[in-house]
A and B are shown apart, each in its own frame.
Chain A
Amino acid sequence: MSAPPTLTFASASTAPHAPIHDCRILVVDDTDFNRTLIGALLNEAGFHRLCYAVNGVEALAMIADDKPDLVILDIMMPQMDGFEVLRRLRADKTTADLPVLVQTALSGTEDRNRAFAAGTTDLVSKPLDRAELLARVKIHLENRVLIRDLQTFRHRVESELDMARSMYDHLLPGASALARLKKASGLAILSHTLLSSELGGDIWGVHALPGGRIGVYLLDMAGRGVLAALNAFRMHTLIHEMIETAGDDPAGFLSLLNSRAVELLARGDHAAMVYGVVDCTANTFCYAVGAAANPMMLKGDGTVEQAGDLVGLPLGVSADATYERACMPFVRGDALMLYSNAVLDALDIRSNPPGSAGLVALVGEACGGADPECAFRHVTTTLAEKVGETPLDDHSLVWLFHAPEGTDG
């Protein structure tokens, strides 16, 4: 009987740890004896990458050539003294955070103060004390290594997330797609997405359907960040694959998506989604929702209408979920408004005053209600004020404007 087959997953890589003994230390002193002594003490303590400069000019040249991890700097030197070296290092942003230990006499209050004013990291007493020198070198190098490892990790993750973010941005309709849509259908779209971190789970899109109709969706994945984005990419793929053939019937399309989502998503993962079809010939908008906010229609006269109060289960929860359809007129001069739930919560217009009345009040404040683009700007500005620069949740809104008579082209 053989052992079961092995399917192994390697553990995730960790940042390499550079022990402090591999750090480079530059000793700057014009006295041979001091350089030798400091070098010997450091060497004996296990530091093997040491280099030496006999004056400030040489030290700066060596640092510019190959930055050490720590500098031990004498004050009184010919040509350029330690204070000047320090000032120049701090003025250069590549060396502003380089740890520098200045050697001064314990009693030299004025020197000590000048050294701190010039930006020293620490002082070591002169005459040299072995234990203190080594303790201070160790503390600053450990700190240096710690910060370097943490920074390396952060830069690596940030660059991965930047790359992923550009892929996320690529999912959303670009300017040229929207221009084509406007040309073909007369529909103009404004959108606003505010993510709680580098990546998020809110996506939206439009798709031309047979017969000149337009399918539009807004999807809000449970959770935030990378996890929500991984699932949002899955859902986007499903939508992309099926919208062409199944996109004409909003309720049917959500059912189909739901049945695929149930197979893909882990327990606890789910998506709120609104999907609708705009028919610019019949002047209608029909939609279905799965736990998403019902769209609202800002009419040309400044009133706000809502076709229904559909509910529906989130997608991915139950294979048996069914969805209903609601329709409303969408005529020239109207603006159709889709939101993620978080937007309603942030603006506090879900409950106070409820729904459309809250939105009317909000829009009415700024624009008198008649100018939909002004209303959009006002809503997004208000949203930014309410949630700040780092919102707790992803927020999206997508507005479709059916151009008033005589404004096409």
Chain B
Amino acid sequence: MAEPTPSPATDPPAGGLTLSAIESGRILIVDDNRVNRHLLMALLERGGFRNVAMAEDGREALERLPQFNPDLILLDLMMPNLDGFEACKQLRADPRYKDLPVLVQSSLSRAEDRARAFEAGATDYVTKPINAVELLSRVKIHLENRALVSNLQLYRQRAETELTLARQMQERLLPTTAQAMQVEADLGIRVCSHFAPSSELGGDYWEMRPDGKGRLVVWLVDFSGHGVGAALNTFRLHAILKPYEVEDFDPAQFLNGVNQRLCPLLPIGQYATILAGVIDPAAGCFFYASAGSTKPMLWAPGDTTPNLGDSSGLPCGIMAQATYENREMAMPAGSRLFLYSDAAIELPISETAVLDEEGLTALVSEYMAEADDGSFLGRLLTSLEARGQFDDDLTAVLISRQR
């Protein structure tokens, strides 16, 4: 269905040249000498260039820029009204012409003049008398280069626009700050999180839902791969889970169902690791089941290291017959539960090593005395980022019982 949205396919090329259209490049000749102007014009026409315009001095050249919109300027230096040095400087100050090739053609041949021209922002410099072969070669090189750059820039601009919108769509799958505040007010459970796909889109997705009986249901999903493809899978699972009833939530049963529904949808080789659980303040417990997720880390006030929960289980989407088991960890008042995608333990910290579970446990131990949840997460992430560059999507969720 066609909609007037920005699309790679429909926008006109924004002043860009295609590689096959170098000769249709727009060239502005700036020279105060009429004979020189016509000489250059004839030379360019002989070289096949058809879109050539002329200006008599720097001032006229600047005036003509917006309308003629050249792809290259052939600029003389010594001119009345506004000379070439000044014209070049003024033009470079305008972001529209920051990358416009300016080829200076001048009878000034001293090194100082050349240096001054480059300082003023010239891209290139040829001396008069003009050598026809050289001038045409240089014009062609600059136009080809400009065409290549503007094609690539156009691609990036369109892709970024599209992917930014897609990224916003993906963020809308996740819990909002308003939801987190509601959960804290109603259940006394505080949730802080960090979501960072390794490119614009990613394969991580998590949710939290109060069950209406004082408990909080949470699931954290990490699809294999990253980028647009992995994101498509997060949208699929979100569509499946949108109407899911969390009353009397049974984590293992939840995973059984998700697995059976993902199996026919996912292509071979794609899967999701999932941790699903429910925080039950009345029972002082975290009940959960895992489909090959990372190990949940949980610690109570006074602990010096986190307890790591068992997280064995087959990832979802591989085998429809897989079944999952319920597990539990004690979670008394004041406890904190840390959930994370595997990017946190597969963070490359050298050519050959990753941070691993032990490394992450050590870091968590180091910061767990931090009373403020946001600061704990912030310091942990800063510390992770200082150790290496993530090459996978990272989600980190800290859930703490306030009462």
Contacts and interface: CB of A to CB of B under 8 A. Distances in A.
Interface stretch (B65-73, B162-170, B360-368): B162-170
B1 A222 contact: yes
B141 to A, nearest CB: 6
Contacts of B7: 196-197, 224-225, 392
Interface stretch (B39-47, B276-284, B321-329, B369-377): B369-377
A131 B229 CA distance: 50
Interface in A226-248: 226-227, 229-231, 233-238, 240-241
A220 B114 CA distance: 60
Interface string B118-155: 11001111010001011001100100010011001101
Interface string A154-193: 1011011101101110100000000000000000000000
Contact of B190 (A5, A135, A159): A5
A391 B1 CA distance: 12
B221 to A, nearest CB: 14
B156 A150 contact: yes
Q: Which of B115, B165, B236, B243 has the most CB of A within 10 A?
A: B236
A225 B114 CA distance: 49
Interface string A5-25: 111111011000000000000
B172 interface: yes
A3 B7 CA distance: 41
B167 A227 contact: no
B2 interface: yes
B133 A151 contact: no
B163 A2 contact: no
Nearest to B116: A131
Contacts of B149: 143, 146-147, 150
A226 B156 contact: no
A260 B238 CA distance: 12
A207 to B, nearest CB: 12
Contacts of A238: 239
Contacts of B227: 159-160, 163-164
A188 B84 CA distance: 71
Secondary structure at the B interface, as helix, strand, loop or mixed, is helix
Given A227-B165, A227-B169, A131 B114 contact: yes
B30 to A, nearest CB: 20
B306 interface: no
Contacts of B191: 5, 7
Interface stretch (A56-64, A109-117, A305-313): A109-117
B228 A237 contact: no
B355 to A, nearest CB: 18
B231 interface: yes
B177 interface: yes
B9 A5 contact: no
A235 B238 CA distance: 11
A388 to B, nearest CB: 10
B258 interface: no
Contacts of B195: 7-10
A106 B267 CA distance: 64
A266 interface: yes
Contacts of A211: none
B115 A131 contact: yes
Contacts of A199: 228
B229 A230 contact: no
B186 interface: no
Interface in B215-232: 225, 227-229, 231-232
B243 A7 contact: no
A250 to B, nearest CB: 20
B239 A3 contact: no
Interface in A241-264: 241, 260, 263-264
A4 interface: yes
Interface in B366-397: 372-374, 377-378, 394
Interface stretch (B19-27, B49-57, B85-93, B196-204): B196-204
B265 A222 contact: no
Given A167-B267, A237-B265, A342-B2, A160 B152 contact: no
Contacts of A201: 1
Interface string B1-37: 1110101111000000000000000000000000000
A393 interface: yes
Contacts of A264: 238-239, 242
A6 B228 contact: no
Given A9-B195, A163-B228, A197-B7, A109 B235 contact: no
B253 interface: no
A12 B199 contact: yes
Interface of B: 1-3, 5, 7-10, 109, 111, 114-115, 118-119, 122-125, 127, 131, 133-134, 137-138, 141, 145, 148-149, 152-153, 155-156, 159, 162-167, 169-172, 174-177, 180-181, 184, 190-201, 225, 227-229, 231-233, 235-236, 238-240, 242-243, 261, 264-265, 267, 372-374, 377-378, 394
Interface of A: 2-10, 12-13, 106, 109, 112-113, 116-117, 121-123, 129, 131-132, 135-136, 139, 143, 146-147, 150-151, 153-154, 156-157, 159-161, 163-164, 166-168, 170, 196-197, 199, 201, 220-227, 229-231, 233-238, 240-241, 260, 263-264, 266, 271-272, 314, 340-342, 390-393
